[in-house]
Structures are given as structure tokens and as C-alpha cells.
Amino acid sequence: SVFTELHTVTLRNGVALDILQQPLEEHPGDTGRDRSVGLMLDQLGWWGWALREARAVRPYVS
């Protein structure tokens, strides 16, 4: 598949935002959504840091 061919890394946490039906401004302070977004971004940040450090030590060769 294209996804594996691009050597991508999957994330366990994901967030679906339905911005076409309900703009985010209609639900300010939605703690469930905010928490989900925070978890996903924390995990994405961790992977970015980990992969940057790993590539500095041992560059990936395809």
C-alpha cells in the first residue's frame, strides 16, 4: 500500500473533528475533545522527537 511504501509510523490516538456540521466555536471548552487532541499531539510530538534523535544516531537507508 502507499501508506507502508512511504515508511510512515501510525499513531494509536486519533481525533476526528466534524468541522463541516458543527464549527469548533459552537463548543468552546469541550474538555473531551481538548483532551483527545492533547493526547494525540503529545504522542505525535514524542514520535517526532524520537525519530529525529534516532536518525541523528543512525540515518535510515532505504
Report the chain's C-alpha Rg in angstroms: 16
Give the phi and the psi of residue 29 in degrees, each rounded to 5. Answer: 70, 25
pLDDT band, very low/low/confident/very high, at 2 (cuts 50, 70, 90): confident
11: CB partners within 8 A, 6+ apart: 40, 43, 44, 47
Tens digits of per-residue pLDDT, 5-44? 888 877 777 777 666 666 556 666 667 778 888 888 898 8
Confidence label for 58 from pLDDT (cuts 50, 70 and 90):
very high
Q: What is the pLDDT of residue 30?
A: 66
Scored b (16 or more CB within 10 A) or e, 10-48 reads eeeeeeeeeeeeeeeeeeeeeeeeeebeeeeeeeeeeee
How high is the pLDDT of residue 56? 92
